[in-house]
Each structure stands twice: as C-alpha cells, then as structure tokens.
Amino acid sequence: QSALTQPPSASGSPGQSVTISCTGTSGDIGGYNFVSWYQQRPDKVPKLIIYEVTKRPSGVPDRFSGSKSGNTASLTVSGLQPDDEADYYCCSYGGNNNLVFGGGTKLTVL
Amino acid sequence: VQVWESGGGSVHPGGSLRLSCSTSGITFNSYAMNWVRQAPGKGLEWVSTINGFGDRTNYADSVRGRFTISRDNSKNTLFLQMNSLRSEDTAMYFCVTGVTVSRVLSRLNDWGHGTLVTVPS
C-alpha cells in the first residue's frame, strides 16, 4: 500500500491549462480503471471531481478532465480560474477493496 | 445527502475511541462506507472500508489489527472502533460514502466534515 506519487506543487496563470500527474504501479493505477481525483480547497472537505479515470460527476465543469497511460494518471485543468486554487489528490483502487491516495498537489493560480 | 461524524477527542497513547457516522438522504445499505483520515497539514489516507451488507471489511496496513469498522444498517450508522492508539493516529477522520461497480470500490462520493482525533506524543 505505497502512496501514489504526485508533484507537490503546480501552478498556472488564469486562462492557462495545467496538468497534474499521478504515478503508481501495475497493482493499482496500471491494473484498474478506477482512478479518481479529489479537490480540497483550504479548510474545506474534499470533493470528488473525476472518477473511473475520465468521468465527471454532475456539476463539475468540463474544464476538469482525466486520463491514464500505463501506470500514470493525469488531471488537466483548462481555463484556470482563481477558484481552482486548491489541493488535488489522486486515488486508485489497489485490489482487494483497498484504496491508495497520492500525496497531493497544491495548485496555485498565479 | 448529509454525512456527519462524532466521537472524536483527545486520548492518551494506548487508549481507545469509538467514532460514529450518520447519514441521511441515501439508502444506507446500498453504499460501501469508508473512513479516510488527514493528519494536520498532511494528505489524505484511506483507513477502512465496509461493504453494504457489513460482511466484508478492509483496512490499511497502518491500522489493521487495531481498528475495527462496523455498521448498523437498521440505524444508518457507521462505526470505527480504534484501539491501541498512537500519536501517528492523530488526524481528522472523515466518513465517506463509497460507490462500488461490480463489487469494486470505484469512488468516494459524499464526505462528512470530519471529527478530530488527537493522541498526544
């Protein structure tokens, strides 16, 4: 149950796009299409923004998109807005109904 | 959907606590239920999951053998019994609904606001 690897920080200017990577192994990200992403604004509760690699829950803007290649998943935020400034966590099913999170990426909107 | 936790507090190392979680707005026994924790200033850590029937449980290595997850579907309530607590268990504990797809835990949907557990070192 090793944590997934995310960059600690990312940044972009309003209107730009930024991509956050999340690297695991064949036992988690590479083995299943059950990658999810969570947004946690300062002092707020985490919120699901992407599930099953590419799907968005109702109400999440299509500026948020997810993808996966091999053992690495990615979250892309397009058309950055100040409100997107938050911590972002990836999460993958790891087999046997276990979940594993990434360490989190702090996104700064410059 | 509303999810809310209770039972947190400060406990000495080696002590025990029992967390509870209640929900409304969902058919409780249709959801796997989960505990996720977040140490102060740190990231999210999955702790435990229980299926809708309550007959299958899973634990992170860091808590296995010390924590026990359970549920009472007649009362729409989830529990986490925490024994042999350590300073590294200090965290906000979130109760979260889980959606399963073909018995695989796909995602964590609705989060409570958390209950703080503090174990002084």
Q: Per-residue pLDDT averaged across B83-110, rounded? A: 95
Query: In chain B, which residue's Cα lies nearest the Cα of A6?
Result: B43
Instruction: Please answer yes or no on whether B94 and A45 come within 8 Å at the CB atom.
Output: yes
Instruction: Please answer yes or no on whether B114 and A45 come within 8 Å at the CB atom.
Output: yes
Residue-wise pLDDT tens digits, B19-31? 999 999 999 999 9
Q: Per-residue pLDDT averaged across B10-27, rounded? A: 96
Write down the pLDDT at residue A56: 98
Instruction: Name the residue among A32, A89, A98 with its Cβ closest to that of B58.
Output: A98
Q: Per-residue pLDDT averaged across B100-116, rounded? A: 94
Return the exposure string of A24-38: e unless at least 16 CB atoms fall within 10 Å of the residue's CB, then b. Answer: beebbbbebbbbbbb
Q: What is the mean pLDDT of chain A?
A: 96
Residues 26-65 of A with CB under 8 A from B: 32, 34, 36, 38, 40, 45-48, 51-52, 57
Instruction: Please answer yes or no on whether B101 and A52 come within 8 Å at the CB atom.
Output: yes
Is the model's pLDDT at A101 over the cut of 70? yes
Is the model's pLDDT at A97 over the cut of 80? no
Smallest CA-to-CA distance from A78 within A15, A6, A9 is with: A15
Which strands sit side by side in the sheet containing B2-6, from one edge to the other?
B2-6, B17-24, B77-82, B67-72
Tokens (6 digits) for B24: 């409304």
Instruction: Calculate what percentage of chain A has a pLDDT beyond 70.
Output: 99
Residue-wise pLDDT tens digits, A10-44? 999 999 999 999 999 999 999 999 999 999 999 99
Whether the Cβ atoms of residue B60 and residue A54 lie closer than 8 Å to each other: no
Q: Per-residue pLDDT averaged across A53-60, rounded? A: 97
Give which of A97, A106, A107 to mutate to test B binding, by max B Cβ within 10 Å.
A97
Smallest CA-to-CA distance from B44 within A95, A92, A107 is with: A92
